[in-house]
Amino acid sequence: MKELLTIEDLAKMTGLSERTIRNYLAGGQLEGEKVDGAWRFTEEQFGTFLGQDMVQVDQQKELRQLQLLVASAWRRHRMRCMEDKQFQHLIIIWHHT
């Protein structure tokens, strides 16, 4: 019996969100079968899906969004560290007066 993939599997392998995968299903760009109420996909269906230009564009968009999110979090972290160091410096100055 062939191994069937889940929506979660597809999301992990593509970097797309599960919601995006479901949108592709609803739009007919992704074919699959429901097994016991859950979507399942063959490797062939997954391969066909990956070959579509719009899927590759969406993967790039989601990767860029993730990169922006990480960069923003890093900037906030650096700012907090700088604020903490400035605060520590003020405490040291205050303590010595």
Domains of the chain: residue spans and CATH = 7-96 (1.10.1660)
In angstroms, the CA 82 to CA 18 distance is 37
Q: pLDDT higher for 10 or 97?
A: 10
Q: Is the pLDDT of residue 83 over 60?
A: yes
In angstroms, the CA 48 to CA 51 distance is 5
In angstroms, the CA 97 to CA 94 distance is 5
Neighbour-count burial of 11, counting CB atoms closer than 10 A to its CB (0-12 exposed, 13-18 middle, 19+ buried) = middle
Task: Tell me the pLDDT of the chain averaged across its residues.
Answer: 81
Tell me the pLDDT band of 51, cut-offs 50, 70 and 90: confident
Q: Is the pLDDT of residue 42 over 80?
A: yes
Predicted TM-score (pTM) above 0.85: no
